Amino acid sequence: MAVRRPLIAANWKMYKTASEAVEFVRRFLPLVAGIPDREIVLAPAFPALEAVASALKGSPAALAAQDAFWEEEGAFTGEVSPRMLAAAGCRYVILGHSERRRLFGETDATVRRKVQAVLAAGLIPIVCVGEREEERERGETFSVLDKQLRDGLKDAFTVDPGRVVIAYEPVWAIGTGRTATAAQAEEAHGFIRGRLSESASREFAAGVRILYGGSVKPDNIAELMAMPDVDGALVGGASLEAESFARIVAAA
Ligand code: PEP
């Protein structure tokens, strides 16, 4: 059996200036100092990346960006390349978050180009997939996940499974306080792993980490993490406060 090290990632969205982010790190690191065996990842907004990278030096926590463009450089006003993110100290890049799909027109095709570029830069994509509420109600959860995996992620199917992370984030659970039940999360994670076993390989499916995201809190993380196919969490709102995120890391 592949060992999948639990990964707990904070998605700070468009919150925290660089100095606010550094202040978080200063409070947070002592709170998680004695917690072994899990990977901690912080994803601040672009302007805070370098400051957070410096603040994390010497700590086991890693840095992530919340998006990346697919080109290396060029006339792409407003965009940031994976190469720039690597130079700023990132190890991970969140891609295809539902807010980017819903508000900024991101599609499986653009996610695919970004996944390729992020992998080429030696960074690890955290690729978000998940169904909307109406899709779940129509019984389309699995077909939505299947399409997102196939169309967005297929170029990653041949890489080492440690070089890719998937985040299952049901859109109806993000920022709503409505967490998926542990059984609902496990059902989706099990489906994703099963599809990867067929489309990629058994080794890839067994080794890739699948995070759950959607209203994760200190008091529901343990139940979610107890599920065999839940390998960690992507946390929005409850990651903005050092004490709350540290409690999630400790209980994971
Ligand atoms: C997210 O934005 O990825 C997320 C899961 O947010 P929240 O934890 O606030 O639902």
> Atom 1 in ligand 1: which residue has the minimum CA distance?
236
Q: What is the pLDDT of residue 1?
A: 55
Q: What is the pLDDT of residue 16?
A: 98
Is the CB of residue 175 below 6 angstroms from any atom belonging to ligand 1? yes
- Report how far residue 235's alpha carbon sits from residue 245's, in angstroms, rounded to the nearest whole number: 8
- Asked if 233 contacts 252 with a C-beta cutoff of 8 angstroms, the reply is yes
Q: How far is the CA of 44 from the centre of ligand 1 (A)?
A: 14
Is the CB of residue 179 below 6 angstroms from any atom belonging to ligand 1? no
- Asked if 14 contacts 45 with a C-beta cutoff of 8 angstroms, the reply is yes
The Cα-based distances of 161 to 4, 63, 98, 224 in angstroms read 10, 19, 23, 22
Q: pLDDT tens per residue, the chain (252 residues)?
A: 568 999 999 999 999 999 999 999 999 999 999 888 899 999 999 999 999 999 999 999 999 999 999 999 999 999 999 999 999 999 999 999 999 999 999 999 999 999 999 999 999 999 999 999 999 999 999 999 999 999 999 999 999 999 999 999 999 999 998 999 999 999 999 999 999 999 999 999 999 999 999 999 999 999 999 999 999 999 999 999 999 999 999 999
Is the CB of residue 32 below 6 angstroms from any atom belonging to ligand 1? no
- Report how far residue 191's alpha carbon sits from residue 102's, in angstroms, rounded to the nearest whole number: 24
Q: How many helices (H) and strands (E) are present in the chain, helices listed first? A: 11, 8
Q: Which two tokens stand for residue 71?
A: 């080109």
Tell me the domains of the chain and their CATH numbers: 7-251 (3.20.20.70)
Q: Which two tokens stand for residue 38?
A: 């899990």
Q: At residue 127, what are phi and psi to the nearest 5 degrees?
A: -95, 120
User: Which entry of 99, 106, 135, 169 is annotated as an active-site residue?
Assistant: 169
pTM as predicted: 0.97
